[in-house]
Amino acid sequence: SSNALIALHVKGPCKLYLDGRLISQGDFPVEIDTIKASLAPGKHVISAEVKCVHPDQWLSLYLRTHGQNISTDRSWKVTKDPGAGWLSADYDDSSWNAAEPGGPFPYIRYFQFEPNAFVFAQFRKQLLGHSDGWKPGQTLFFRKTFEVK
């Protein structure tokens, strides 16, 4: 197995899942929520359910294992209606849109965050949203599958 660290930044209420298991819940616009995980070899999925409650809503995440670094970018998938089973690594997300990145940190007019010890945790990840926009009260569902060797 491989140890992993996940650095979550999100503006708005978020539920974060790893392989269908809830690993974090909250709103972390200033401080990073750091989550430790152990990953067996094979296919995995990291998923987030984020409700829009702010005018400049976003999700940003960085996952580091011994062999790879995964950041929020256009390779993530997003939808407004996930359907049953969306938390499974084997779920077919081919009908989902590519997530719309808002650019690398800091893309917004101002950004304040607490320092942390994770190299590239802020630098490589992008702020994600949806190409159709993100309306107040609307929940977006994000996911990214990856392989651990």
Q: Which residues of 87-98 are buried (b: 16+ CB within 10 A; e: fewer)?
A: bebebebeebee
Mean model confidence pLDDT for the chain: 83
- The per-residue pLDDT for range 4-20, each reduced to its tens digit, is 999 888 888 999 999 99
Which residues are CB-neighbours of 92 under 8 A, at least 6 positions away?
Answer: none
pLDDT value for 68:
87
**Mean pLDDT, to the nearest integer, of 64-86?**
91
Q: Please answer whether residues 88 and 20 qualify as being in contact, where contact means their C-beta atoms are separated by less than 8 angstroms.
A: yes
* pLDDT tier at 106, thresholds 50, 70, 90: very low
pLDDT value for 130:
63
Kindly tell me if the per-residue pLDDT of 62 is higher than 80: yes
Single-letter amino acid, residue 7? A
